[in-house]
Structure 1
Amino acid sequence: MEIIPGPLLKTIDSPADLKKLPREKLHQVCDELRQYIIDVVSVHGGHFGASLGVVELTTALHYVYNTPYDQLVWDVGHQAYGHKILTGRRDNFVTNRKYNGISGFPKRSESEYDTFGVGHSSTSISAALGMAMAAKYKGETDRKTVAVIGDGSMTAGMAFEAMNHAGVANSDMLIILNDNGIGIDPNTGALKEYLTDISTSPTYNKVKDDVWKLMGKLPVGKNFTRAMGHKLVEGLKGMVNSSANLFEALKIRYFGPIDGHNVAKLVDTLKDLRDIPGPKLLHIVTTKGKGYALAEQDQTKWHAPGLFDKVTGEIFKKKFDTPQPPKYQDVFGHTLIELAERNQRIFGITPAMPSGSSLKFMMEKMPDRAFDVGICEQHAVTLSAGMATQGMRVFCNIYSSFMQRAYDQVVHDVAIQKLPVVFCLDRAGLVGDDGPTHHGAYDIAYMRCIPNIVISAPMNESELRNLMYTSQLESTDVPFVIRYPRGEGTMPEWKTEMKEITIGKGRKLKDGDGIAILSFGHPGNFAASAIRDLKLEGVNPGHYDMRFAKPLDEELLHEACQRYQKLITVEDGCIEGGFGSAVLEFMAKHNYKNEVRILGIPDRIVEHGTPKELQHECKYDAVAIKETVLEMMKDKVRVTELLG
């Protein structure tokens, strides 16, 4: 299906083309840009509501600023679809998030207009400040830097650290606070209430408007009028609405709030702010999903809905003839409620991902024992540690790639103190379309080097339930990591009786001949599939589900090393420092000389694509396991063929 852009949009191959249009045509550009995003995402998939909400802002920024010389940083990159379309990627936009297509996030290697890679939140102000300070040092006094940050991203400590520095660095930068009250799920916390207070204070906003109108009538020059009006407004802020002083207290000049969907007003405001030196913040109010009624009404559902009928709003779901297994996330969410009903000490915490992680189930049923703390991974970990000191058993649910943001807290606040926090690392392994910023590739390696910590991974839903049950027992007195992939369930009848697992004990799934596969976590299912196919080739590998990367099941490893000359390890984590490396360390310690192949994520950045495409590319899917076994057992296969 060919998707055709509107008559104005099809003429825009760069911001230079946009600038050729008269100001009164920008409304039409915005309408066509919004419709093009709807048309493409409905057919090809991707994030949806976030980019619809900043269509006017995106258009105004590229109309006013001299991009890419002026530098624009998005936070988070879900908002940047319109930016990509206006900067030369309109015709390639149908490949967005597809294997070998363009990235779903701004990416420096993809375009000179993408000044900074932004898949994780709350980085824009720090990055933009660095750019502005470098421009000042190089004498590029005409170069402007803009950070666009959502109010959800503003909750993270890093954003405040950056603003704290920006106020004294006195570099020429503009922070645009895109305030729509939602990230993926609704925003939480005092900052949300504070921004709402600014946005809705009728007294402050009416007085401010009256002052600007009054100053516009005074018979003095424009610059004087603007300067005096700003001084009066700033004084009124403190008198009428004291909460508006937060940004000013950090020495960042505050402007707004203004309607983020009035493109003409945005153009005028940005032109004025471009001429004001120093650090400043423009507060705009927008609606996530603007222009598509269903997305405006249910912003969480329409953050990334998948394929849908743009006319009826029907979201297309795959239909199956037989019952399908649930996602690991949903098994986690429902199992946690079961455990919490039995154990009053259990709590659930997530940093801004209650829907994605399925902690939403517990938040709905037990709102006093499950919390969304906002995009604050560091806080989530140390909050969990604090509760653990008081005897609580906290399940801290964080995406694997986001846990990287809280690494010091895991070491300093949890492991050193040996506090029994349960880290449920969702989205472990290759997550797919979100690409390298979201792949959970490194957690085995970065957790394995920390003392006092258990690292586990279930092969199926029943094993996930057993690990969760084991992690909350009184006898489990150490930090406990459970990692599992996005989706990927295997058991339609998943609600099995929960049993304690001995920490550090794996399972022998089958005996074999000549070669054995040691799998860790969900890739054990790939190994099982390969073994079924290999039976037809006359090859019979043994199979061990190791369950734990730390501590290792040394009894099983001794058995495997002594019984099988050839071994293959399989994991959905980085090869360097991961589960396979742990097996090699064990073998070196005990002087084993077996032939070993390690299958997992290679030592390079893996781009985006479906999980199956990427697992095949990285050579640890069922096909790759089968090929590796056959290559290692080629002499035996030749003998079998000759005898056959």
Structure 2
Amino acid sequence: MVGGFLEHISSPADVKALDSKNLPALCQEIRTTLVRYGKLHGGHIGSNLGMVEATVALHRVFDSPLDKIVFDVSHQSYVHKMLTGRAPAYMDERLFGTVTGFTNPEESEHDMFVLGHTGTSISLACGLAKTRDLMGGLDGTSGTRNVIAVIGDGSLSSAIAFEGLNNAAEQGTNMIIVVNDNEMSIAEDFGGMYGQLARLRASGGTSQPNIFNAFGLDYRYVEDGNDVAALVEAFSQVKDIDHPIVIHIHTAKGLGLDAEDAAAGVKEGRCEANHWQDPLAAQGNPLGARKHYGQLAMARLEPRFASEPGLVVISPATPGSNGITREFRERAGVHYVDTGITEEHAVAFASGIAKAGGTPVLATSATFFQRTFDQLQQELSLNGTPVTLLVFGAGISGADNTHSGAFDIPMFANIPNLTYLTPTSGDAFLAMLDWSTTSHDHGAVAIRVPGEPILAAERAAATHGGAYPRYRGGTAAETHAKGDAGNADTPFARYRVTRQGTDVAILGLGNMYPLAERIAADLAESGDGGVSAIDASVIDPQQCTSLDTACLEALRKRHSMVVTLEDAQLSGGWGEQVTVYYANQDGLQPAGVDKHMRVLNFGAAKEFTDRVPAQDLYKRYGLTAPQVEQAIRSALR
């Protein structure tokens, strides 16, 4: 453990009690603790290192929780947590992981909201301030006095941040907006407003036009945002102010990282790798699914840039986490656009490119696509523009409760005129990408980038002689009778029957396809105690936006049960559609055909989960081979 001032701080009152001359030492101790924590545990270390002095100054001056501090995104809240009674979770290795990576009211009264997405702090702060104004004002009788929103310059590119600034000025009462300007988003900042911020930095906050003044907001600038004394003075001057004001502080992201010992790629200063630090123990690990398949996609697209001037890759920030490497971006030049943290704009922008005859490929996380549902429905689907969406991080995972990808199928699969493809291998993924970007006679196409279960299966096959079935391309019409498969213009509308069996048909959607293969193999083996072998079919549906009714009807001839597997929310999802189809069709079967098809659905519950290991979630939802096998055998008795 690290000793000194920090181990004696259990609340902001202890920060206030320190002699002012000891504040720099406290900041240095926090910085040392953060670097050690990052090496051993990992996390959002760079953003926190840049905010050490500002957070200490906030708690030195303001009186949390009477004064409400809202951290935008809140990945920079580790220091705040240390100063509000949770320092042992960062100092004691035995307690690592006992607090979340973001603010969380269940942990502390000093945390206002559960936050993990971008640009919302000012709007949330406006709501806190409005209620305070209605219920007593700055005298504190409402339970709120000063309202402080802390937002980074990268988050300012998010549309909702501008909406919040606009409303804060209109309210006209106490609100303190701390803009942490470290000249970085995750990668570099992109957008016209950043030239203005640069001019404000260069002029000591005096240049015009001033974007914040243009909103009608008061403004002050602190050049050295890593000088705790300067920040204490600046915050003291605006405490209890009677109107909204922006305090623009210039900080250094990653300040204090020692490059020699830090995890690979992480170094002091404004560096993209500083956004997230893996622990030292993770060095040398192979790429995860996001980066692996993302790099495959970019490698597939890059040779086409020279001959296809309208081909454009779009990333609303977060490129590196999706395998869009810095080297690729540099080579792509004008064929790559980082729009900043602007998912709504990015989708509408992509629709405009497609309408003009270009070929846009927009890549971001499933959880971030949720921020642009209206544009997915209106600007893309209603207009029928041929945009390709690469959906990363979809499915069940051990992510925190603000970054879950388990809600993607109910969202994407129920938007009209949008096709959601679910590849089950790298080959299938690239085949789908080729089709969606070379054919323009379709509407919006989203491709669910393969996840860890598929990558693990492919790597295991490569190690053990190729047991994982290779994607053969085309449709699977040869495996069942032809018929309406819904999206007639989509070559992936038909389900692929990869293993023909009897009695039970197992449909493994996307990431669950390797599980379907394993279950079928296990069922085929007879066991002790009278356990008989079951010959099961295995089916790769390829997509989840329409039902291959010809395949579903063909299954009636040899099967009495259909099992659906999906690693997403079951309620409102794909498996339920299969169940409803059979339920509606059972009474319409001709004479001699069994009227009843038994369907078992397996998927995630409708719930938020927070850092629960994926394997534990699979067990919780019955998505393991033994659990599914037991359910099948019980149902067949």
TM range (shorter): 0.7 to 0.9
Alignment-derived partner of residue 261 in structure 1: 226
CA distance in 2, matches of 1:46, 1:102: 12
2:621 paired with 1:618: yes
Alignment equivalent of 1:552, drawn from 536, 547, 556 = 547
CA distance in 1, matches of 2:446, 2:290: 23
Alignment-derived partner of residue 149 in structure 1: 151
Change (3 A) 1:605 1:140: same
Secondary structure of the 1:531 match is helix
Q: What is the deviation of 1:183?
A: 1.9
Alignment-derived partner of residue 607 in structure 1: 610
Change (3 A) 1:298 1:262: closer
Alignment-derived partner of residue 491 in structure 1: 458
Alignment-derived partner of residue 39 in structure 2: 42
Alignment-derived partner of residue 380 in structure 1: 346
Alignment equivalent of 2:285, drawn from 308, 318, 321 = 318
Alignment-derived partner of residue 124 in structure 1: 121
Alignment equivalent of 1:300, drawn from 264, 272, 275 = 272
CA deviation vs aligned residue, 1:390-446 (integer Å, no higher than 9, x gap): 11121111211111111111111111111111111111113424x121111222111
- TM-score, scaled relative to structure 2: 0.86
2:590 paired with 1:594: no
Change (3 A) 1:89 1:383: same
- Equivalent residues in 2 for 1:239-638 (5 A)? 241-244=207-210, 246-294=211-259, 295-297=267-269, 299-308=271-280, 316-318=283-285, 327-340=292-305, 343-360=308-325, 362-433=328-399, 435-474=400-439, 476-486=441-451, 489=455, 490-491=457-458, 502-536=491-525, 537=527, 538-591=533-586, 593-620=596-623, 624-634=624-634
Over the matched positions of the two proteins, sequence identity in percent amounts to: 29
CA distance in 2, matches of 1:176, 1:119: 18
Q: What is the deviation of 1:448?
A: 2.1
CA distance in 1, matches of 2:505, 2:604: 20
CA distance in 1, matches of 2:396, 2:631: 25
Q: What is the deviation of 1:612?
A: 3.1
Change (3 A) 1:363 1:570: same
- In terms of mean alpha carbon deviation, does 145-154 or 255-264 score higher? 255-264
Contact 1:333 1:362 survives alignment (8 Å): yes
- TM-score, scaled relative to structure 1: 0.85
- In terms of mean alpha carbon deviation, does 37-46 or 610-619 score higher? 610-619
Amino acid of the structure 1 residue aligned with 2:111: D
CA distance in 1, matches of 2:339, 2:601: 38
Contact 1:44 1:94 survives alignment (8 Å): no
Q: What is the deviation of 1:358?
A: 2.4
CA deviation vs aligned residue, 1:505-527 (integer Å, no higher than 9, x gap): 22111123322211111111122
Q: What is the deviation of 1:487?
A: 5.0
Alignment-derived partner of residue 192 in structure 1: 194
Alignment-derived partner of residue 77 in structure 1: 74
CA distance in 1, matches of 2:522, 2:630: 11
Alignment-derived partner of residue 60 in structure 1: 57
CA distance in 2, matches of 1:286, 1:298: 10
Q: What is the deviation of 1:480?
A: 0.6
Cα RMSD for the two superposed structures: 2.7
CA deviation vs aligned residue, 1:451-477 (integer Å, no higher than 9, x gap): 111111111111100110111233542
Amino acid of the structure 2 residue aligned with 1:304: W
Unpaired runs of at least 5, structure 2: 140-144, 260-266, 476-490, 528-532, 587-594
CA deviation vs aligned residue, 1:48-71 (integer Å, no higher than 9, x gap): 111111011111111111111211
Secondary structure of the 1:77 match is coil
Change (3 A) 1:95 1:438: farther
Contact 1:256 1:284 survives alignment (8 Å): yes
Choose between structure 1 and 2 for higher RCO, CA contacts under 8 A separated by at least 6 residues: 1
Q: What is the deviation of 1:157?
A: 1.0
Q: What is the deviation of 1:102?
A: 2.2
CA distance in 1, matches of 2:306, 2:196: 35
Q: What is the deviation of 1:345?
A: 3.4
CA distance in 2, matches of 1:96, 1:428: 31
Contact 1:179 1:284 survives alignment (8 Å): yes
Secondary structure of the 2:562 match is strand
Contact 1:436 1:605 survives alignment (8 Å): yes
Q: What is the deviation of 1:499?
A: 5.1
Contact 2:506 2:539 survives alignment (8 Å): yes
CA distance in 2, matches of 1:28, 1:99: 23
Contact 1:98 1:608 survives alignment (8 Å): no
Q: What is the deviation of 1:344?
A: 4.2
Q: How many residue pairs were aligned?
A: 585
Change (3 A) 1:615 1:137: same
CA distance in 1, matches of 2:347, 2:12: 43
CA deviation vs aligned residue, 1:526-569 (integer Å, no higher than 9, x gap): 22233334444434332111011112222222223443222221
Q: What is the deviation of 1:326?
A: 7.1
Amino acid of the structure 2 residue aligned with 1:627: Q
CA distance in 1, matches of 2:405, 2:551: 27
Change (3 A) 1:101 1:511: farther
Q: What is the deviation of 1:484?
A: 2.2
Secondary structure of the 2:603 match is strand
Q: What is the deviation of 1:341?
A: 5.4
Alignment-derived partner of residue 162 in structure 2: 160
Alignment-derived partner of residue 108 in structure 2: 111
